[in-house]
Amino acid sequence: MTHQQELAPGPDHEDAAAASATAPKKVFMRTYGCQMNVYDSERMTDVLGSEGFAPTETLEDADLVILNTCHIREKAAEKVYSELGRIRKIKEERALHGKDTMIGVAGCVAQAEGRELTRRAPVVDLVIGPQSYHQLPALLKQAGKGGRIVETEFDIDAKFRHLSDAAARSAQPAAPRRAPTAFLTVQEGCDKFCTFCVVPYTRGAEVSRSVEQILAEASQLVAAGVRELTLLGQNVNAWHGEGADGKAWGFGRLLRRLAEIDGLERLRYTTSHPRDMDDDLISAHRDLRQLMPYLHLPVQAGSDRILAAMNRKHTRDDYFRLVDRIRAVAPEIALSGDFIVGFPGETDADFEDTMDLVRRVEYGSAFTFKYSQRPGTPGDLMDGQVDEDVKTQRLHALQELITAQQTGFNASRLGMTFGVLFERKGKRPGQLVGKSPWLQAVQADAPDEMIGTVQPVEIVEIGRNSLFGRLKAGQDESAGA
């Protein structure tokens, strides 16, 4: 991979740096794709905050623009290039007023395109891959001296070490209060090599953070007011790290340890691979009241032939058995998933197997995608690519089925009372918005002081995008869940 290549000199940023000694600098961060990118964008914002950059939502005000990109589906890179075209115009407009604008591209498109990005879009000052965000301040300074910087090294250990140091540094009593929910990356990369997927190439091999690093960051977040943590990883349940005892821990054990943190009310994790749901992790769903009854467990397809072609390393029966084992210990759990329709070679009969699997499993929600050819993946070169029209028809049929299941699941909450973690004010005065244990949005009239607390709420109405509830006094979160 390319490493810090100085290409043609770019515009000189020295003047802007001098001017910014007086006015605070502003960064505009646009995030595409998965929750891992959301987490990475937050960390980049933190790192830049300590360099004096305040976040802005207005592109025209930004001294630094960062696009944190996603490469998982088609035309991702093209979208980034057209976005860069728009940003170039704003940069030119700002230049007329003597203001400099630095432009960075981060995330998986940065990793995949590398130097090509600065060739096709010379407006870009910095290309930075997902493993290098801890070097952002230093790289910006370098880019500020002129020249374009491309940094796409795979050194995830260094990134994780730095994240932990940053957590330790901000674990001061005066740490700013945060929203009640937060993401925490525990694992990055993937060794599974599903034949449709770019992740093993853009995020690299699977690496787990150590127990010590994760606990330090989790404790710091809880001390700053976080009540719900979502552990993130491309293959999160493949996490395996070294504990303080020097022994290898599995993901279930990590969850048990995190559940001991005082003040941490809720735990979630995403995304899981069916192959890595071991007994300890399954029984954690029975044992831990903090572990929410919602599990994203993608199966991708329902036909054994397609699952084999996808290199998923499990059959549909393996998946059914797994779902039975999970539901045996946690009957209230809602399952969610990802599905790809129109993988190369998928016949009507194969697709019907996917529909049948969905009917049998019954999902609380799920994401559906048309297969898109990704250069560099084995699927791209496979025979039997499916017509776009056929993909569209299958997508609609599957979406209709899943929407019906989701609507039914939401409706089944009517009259139930369960804990809602209030996250923020609602649109109407006096109203708060929070999440149910099953990740549904819930709105209820409640005082602002309840933000960041879990309160019992009785569901009185089912809306299209959220549930409406009424505060109930004197019951705990487990009620009705």
Q: Whole-angstrom Cα distance, residue 106 to residue 124?
A: 11
Sign of the C-alpha dihedral computed for residues 55, 58, 64 and 67 taken in this order = positive
Nearest to 188 by CA among 343, 40, 11, 347: 40
φ, ψ for residue 401 (rounded to 5)? -65, -45
φ, ψ for residue 371 (rounded to 5)? -60, 135
Tell me the two tokens of residue 140: 């910006």
Q: How far is the CB of 34 from ligand SF4 (least distance, A)?
A: 10
Residue 298 lies near ligand 5AD (rule: CB under 6 A) = yes
Q: Is 177 annotated as a binding residue?
A: no
Residue 200 interacts with which of ligand 5AD, ligand SF4, none, CB < 5 to 8 Å by class:
ligand SF4
Nearer to ligand 5AD, 183 or 196 (CB): 196
Within 10 A of 118 (CB to CB), how many other CB atoms are there? 23
| Residue 229 buriedness (CB in 10 A; 0-12 / 13-18 / 19+) | buried
Within 10 A of 97 (CB to CB), how many other CB atoms are there? 6
| Residue 462 buriedness (CB in 10 A; 0-12 / 13-18 / 19+) | middle
Residue 168 lies near ligand 5AD (rule: CB under 6 A) = no
Q: Which amino acid is at 411?
A: A
Q: Is 129 annotated as a binding residue?
A: no
Residue 199 lies near ligand SF4 (rule: CB under 6 A) = yes
Q: Which of residues 172-231 bind ligand 5AD (CB under 6 A)?
A: 196-197
Q: Minimal CB distance to ligand 5AD: which residue?
A: 338
Using CB under 6 A, which of the segments 32-40, 194-202, 408-416, 473-481 binds ligand SF4?
A: 194-202
Sign of the C-alpha dihedral computed for residues 90, 91, 95 and 101 taken in this order = positive
Q: Is 197 annotated as a binding residue?
A: yes
Instruction: Assign 184 to helix, strand or coil.
Output: strand
Residue 192 lies near ligand SF4 (rule: CB under 6 A) = yes
The single residue among 268, 374, 394, 413 that binds ligand 5AD, judged by CB under 6 A, is: 374
Residue 192 interacts with which of ligand SF4, ligand 5AD, none, CB < 5 to 8 Å by class:
ligand SF4
Q: Whole-angstrom Cα distance, residue 37 to residue 39?
A: 5
Within 10 A of 474 (CB to CB), how many other CB atoms are there? 6
Q: Is 108 annotated as a binding residue?
A: yes
Q: Which of residues 234-253 bind ligand SF4 (CB under 6 A)?
A: 234-235
Tell me the two tokens of residue 360: 């049998």
Residue 73 lies near ligand 5AD (rule: CB under 6 A) = yes
- E strands, 226-344, are 228-232, 241-242, 248-249, 266-270, 294-296, 334-341
| Residue 418 buriedness (CB in 10 A; 0-12 / 13-18 / 19+) | buried
Q: How far is CA 130 from the centre of its chain?
A: 13
Residue 28 lies near ligand 5AD (rule: CB under 6 A) = no
Residue 371 lies near ligand 5AD (rule: CB under 6 A) = yes
- Considering only CA atoms, give the Rg of the chain: 23
Q: How far is the CB of 269 from ligand SF4 (least distance, A)?
A: 14
Using CB under 6 A, which of the segments 6-14, 16-24, 185-193, 463-471 binds ligand SF4?
A: 185-193
Instruction: Assign 252 to helix, strand or coil.
Output: helix
Within 10 A of 352 (CB to CB), how many other CB atoms are there? 14
Q: How far is the CB of 235 from ligand SF4 (least distance, A)?
A: 5
Residue 273 lies near ligand SF4 (rule: CB under 6 A) = yes
Q: Is 34 annotated as a binding residue?
A: yes
Residue 369 interacts with which of ligand 5AD, ligand SF4, none, CB < 5 to 8 Å by class:
ligand 5AD
Q: How far is the CB of 194 from ligand SF4 (least distance, A)?
A: 3
Q: Is 190 annotated as a binding residue?
A: yes
Helix (H) or strand (E) segment spanning residue 283 = helix 279-287
Using CB under 6 A, which of the segments 85-93, 193-201, 390-398, 458-466 binds ligand SF4?
A: 193-201
Number of residues this chain uses to bind ligand 5AD (CB under 6 A): 12
φ, ψ for residue 242 (rounded to 5)? -90, 130
Using CB under 6 A, which of the segments 136-144, 364-372, 423-431, 466-474 binds ligand 5AD?
A: 364-372
Residue 73 interacts with which of ligand SF4, ligand 5AD, none, CB < 5 to 8 Å by class:
ligand 5AD
Residue 390 lies near ligand 5AD (rule: CB under 6 A) = no
Binding site for ligand 5AD (CB under 6 A): 72-73, 196-197, 298, 300, 338, 340, 369, 371-372, 374
Query: Which residues fall in the annotated binding site for [4Fe-4S] cluster?
Result: 34, 70, 108, 190, 194, 197
Binding site for ligand SF4 (CB under 6 A): 190, 192-194, 197, 199-200, 234-235, 273
Query: Which residues fall in the annotated binding site?
Result: 34, 70, 108, 190, 194, 197
